[in-house]
Amino acid sequence: MDVVTLDLSNQRLTGEISVPGDKSISHRAVMLGAIAEGTTQIEGFLDGEDCLRTIEIFQQLGVEIVRENQSVTVVSPGIANWKTPKSALYAGNSGTTARLLTGILAGSSITTILTGDDSLSKRPMNRVIEPLRAMGASISSAITQNYLPLSIEGVQLNPIDYKMPVASAQVKSAILFAGLSIDGETVVIEKVHSRDHTERMLEQFGATIERRGNRVTVIGNKKLTGTNVHVPGDISSAAFLMVGAAITKGSSITIKNIGLNATRTGILDVLFRMGADVTVHNVEDLNGEPYGHVDISNAPLTAIEIGGDIIPTLIDELPIIALLATQATGTTIIKDASELRVKETDRIMAVTTELKKLGANIEATSDGMIINGPTPLLGGTLSSHGDHRLGMMAAIASLISSKKVEIENASCIAISYPSFFDDLKKLAISSDLKG
Ligand code: S3P
């Protein structure tokens, strides 16, 4: 098992950095580039493991995709001309690949088998299978009901008006993608807004899409055409460095060109409400997605309650927010986040187990965590549980731990942030402010 040992106990973070491209936008750019006819040029693509699985899958379907680092060119004959693949499609660890692809393949004209790694094969697929079956999809589960591997026979689907039982952009996107193949209106109704990159990008590729309040409608059977996509930096990756700066004495950093879509910026609200020194500036818009620079410095932090509609806007940041809360004065309550139990690992269990090893005062609840702070953290050996966001949380904890932190199974960090350790080293400098 790969182990990384970090001793950042006398370091603080300073300087400017750009983080790799947004994972959600990178996946969707390849997917829509493959569905559309013609050429799509993607700049700032995230070359993390999850997005590489998405590229490989569409190459198997006969789409020409050439990647040179963060530049990707997709040349597609359009979804109607995809080839039946010779072998199963492998989504690796990527829930976004598996769930969005299920929606796309359900209304295609090919038959495929979709597989994933051990973690992904334990994650619920019924949340996409149920609405897709209601649209007439032919999806069967090969081994255990409603888990990968899935066999998907592309058929002519019917429109649906679907009220989402969970706030999930993956489910919403799967249904909207399926709706592209239908001569009629497919409607998704959300109780709480989840990330809306699919809706924004569908417009860029020429789809007919309407958004009113919590209703999204796609009118299908329209030819989509390839376009250019600029991927901003991933705020979910930046979150680790932002929290590192917020909790480490003497730190002050700028993260440049990160995505600032309001369905993703809950982490900035939390940092601000806790008292961190945060400034957002140079905000611009590209391809319908806002992005800009964020300055963040260390300041005294106060505990807050995090729950309700903000949860989908920071769902992937909750592991690093739990670490942040260990340094805030008072009791931080995270609630309404039971979705954490079905991520790459059960993140409520994994975060509480690992932070307790460092001496944190943290308890799991059914739908969140309760954290009392501030607590000094000790060093120790932590497991990533094969979950990239747990691995990065452990690494950032090293900045405020009195002894070294060993991270077991750290290579999974490459799933979303391949240059994470290099970027952390670039910002870390020896601190004379600490003891
Ligand atoms: C994602 C949606 C979220 C998020 C995941 C990426 C997406 O999942 O946790 O990392 O790109 O649509 P859910 O749809 O399950 O909330």
Dihedral sign for Cα atoms in the order 113, 116, 119, 120: negative
Q: Could you tell me which of 342, 320, 316 has the C-alpha nearest to residue 236?
A: 316
Residue 79 pLDDT exceeds 80: yes
8 pLDDT higher than 60: yes
Nearest CA to ligand 1 atom 15: 168
Question: How confident is the model at residue 144, as a pLDDT?
Answer: 74
Task: Name the residue among 385, 257, 396 with its Cα closest to residue 326.
Answer: 396
CA of 412 to the centre of ligand 1 (A): 18
Q: CB within 8 A of 68, min separation 6: which ones?
A: none
- What value does the mean pLDDT of the chain take? 97
- Tell me the per-residue pLDDT of 233-271, one tens digit each, with 9 for 90 and over: 999 999 999 999 999 999 999 999 999 999 999 999 999
pLDDT reported for residue 142: 73
Tokens at 70, concatenated:
């963060």
User: In the numeric block, which tokens belong to residue 72?
Assistant: 């990707």
Phi, psi of 171 (to 5 degrees): -65, -50
Mutate which of 26, 164, 168, 388 for ligand 1? The one with the most ligand atoms within 8 Å of its CB, which is 168
**Using a 6 Å CB cutoff, which residues line ligand 1?**
24, 96, 168-170, 173, 195, 315-316, 339
Give the Å distance between the CA of 435 and the centre of ligand 1.
40
Degrees, nearest 5: CA angle 393-265-214: 125
First-to-last C-alpha distance (Å) of the chain: 33
Global confidence as pTM: 0.98
Sequence letter at residue 369: M
Cβ contacts of 91 within 8 Å, gap of 6 or more: 53, 54, 57, 97, 98, 101, 114, 115, 116, 120, 148
CA of 123 to the centre of ligand 1 (A): 12
Residue 261 is predicted with a pLDDT of: 98
pLDDT of residue 182: 97
> How far is Cα 31 from Cα 43, in angstroms, rounded to an integer?
15
Mean per-residue pLDDT for 164-190?
97
Which residues on adjacent β-strands are paired with residue 256?
Answer: 18
- What average pLDDT does range 2-12 have in this prediction? 95
Nearest residue (by CA) to ligand 1, atom 11, is: 24
DSSP 234: -
d(CA 248, CA 392): 16
Across 294-319, average pLDDT: 98
Q: Concatenate the DSSP letters of all residues of 319-388 into one string.
A: HHHHHHHTTSBEEEEE-S-GGGGGSSS-HHHHHHHHHHHTT-EEEEETTEEEEEE---B--EEEE-TT-H
The fraction of the chain above a pLDDT of 90, given in percent, is 97
* Shortest-distance Cα residue to atom 5 of ligand 1: 96
Residues carrying an active site annotation: 316
Report whether pLDDT(139) > 60. yes
Torsion angle in degrees (nearest 10) through CA of 222, 225, 226, 232: -60
At 432, the pLDDT band (50, 70, 90 cuts) reads: low
pLDDT on residue 309: 97
Q: What is the mean pLDDT of residues 380-399?
A: 98
**Do 347 and 367 contact (CB within 8 A), yes or no?**
no
Residue 79 has phi, psi (to 5 degrees) of -55, -35
Of 270, 125, 261, whose CA–CA distance to 195 is shortest?
261
Residue nearest to atom 16 of ligand 1 (CA): 168
- Residue 434's pLDDT band (boundaries 50, 70, 90)? very low
The answer to which of 106-110, 139-143, 301-305, 354-358 has the lowest mean pLDDT is 139-143
- Cα(309)–Cα(312) distance, rounded to whole angstroms? 7
Out of 23, 102, 170, 309, give the residue to mutate to test ligand 1, the one with the largest number of ligand atoms within 8 Å of its CB: 170
Q: What pLDDT, in 10s, does the model give residues 23-73? A: 999 999 999 999 999 999 999 999 999 999 999 999 999 999 999 999 999
Query: What distance in angstroms lies between residue 168's CA and the mean position of ligand 1's atoms?
Result: 6
Alpha carbon distance 118, 398 (integer Å)? 29
